[in-house]
Structures are given as structure tokens and as C-alpha cells.
Amino acid sequence: MRRGAELREQIFGAEGMKSLENADDFQMPLQDMVTRICFGEVWSRPELSLKIRSMLTIALLAGQSRPDQLKNHVKGAISNGVTKEEIREILLHATLYIGLPAGSDSWRQATAALKEIGAY
């Protein structure tokens, strides 16, 4: 779990650790799974860089219409070296395949996330 927690904090900062730190007995199994498996086992694999993983995640979350997760991962993508311009291109490309309603929502969430971290 330690490797996952370190990577999670590296990508999302202290803000991204709050859900883990504030997890109660009910929520801890989910936070353990996210930290240990998602970040400790998958995101930490060396075959893809964190930047590429962030880019893929943005496209996948846009396609699934997951605005809260998309907003979080746009912020994380910036810390992984993805530029505002690259995020724009990911969303433009994804919108072709996911449709305008999901694409428009994704653009709105990405814009809000970039503004929140001063990257807009």
C-alpha cells in the first residue's frame, strides 16, 4: 500500500490523499483497493509513463461521462507533464468518438479543473 500511497500523493498532492486519510471503516476497503491496486500495481508499472497513463485516463473518463473523476485526473495529468494543449487535443479527439453531450461535459470539467490549479 505504501508504493500506491506515494504515487497517489505524487500525482494528486495532499488534496488527493484526503479521501484515503478521511476514510472510515465503511470506505476504507475502497480506498485500500484504489491505493494498492490502482496506483501501487497498475499506475506504477514501468511500461507506460505517468504522462501517457494520464492521457489515456482522460480519454476513457470522458467516454464514460465521469465528470468528477475527469476533473481530478485533469489536475493529476498536469502534474504528470501533460500540457493544457495536449488535454485540449485529447478532448477534441475523444469528442469525435464519444459524442457531443459527453464531450461538451468533459470540456467544461477540464476547463474548471485547469482554472482551479492555475493552468488555464
Q: Where are the domains of the chain?
A: 1-47, 48-120
Average confidence (pLDDT) over 73-100: 98
pLDDT of 113 over the 90 cut: yes
12-44 residue pLDDT tens: 999 889 999 999 999 999 999 999 999 999 999
Task: Report the pLDDT value the prediction gives residue 1, as an integer from 0 to 100.
Answer: 85
pLDDT of 101 over the 90 cut: yes
In terms of CATH, what superfamily is 48-120? Answer: AhpD-like (1.20.1290.10)
Cα separation of 3 and 37, whole Å? 10
Inter-CA distances, 109 with 28, 67, 75, 85, 113, Å:
27, 6, 11, 15, 6
pTM: 0.93
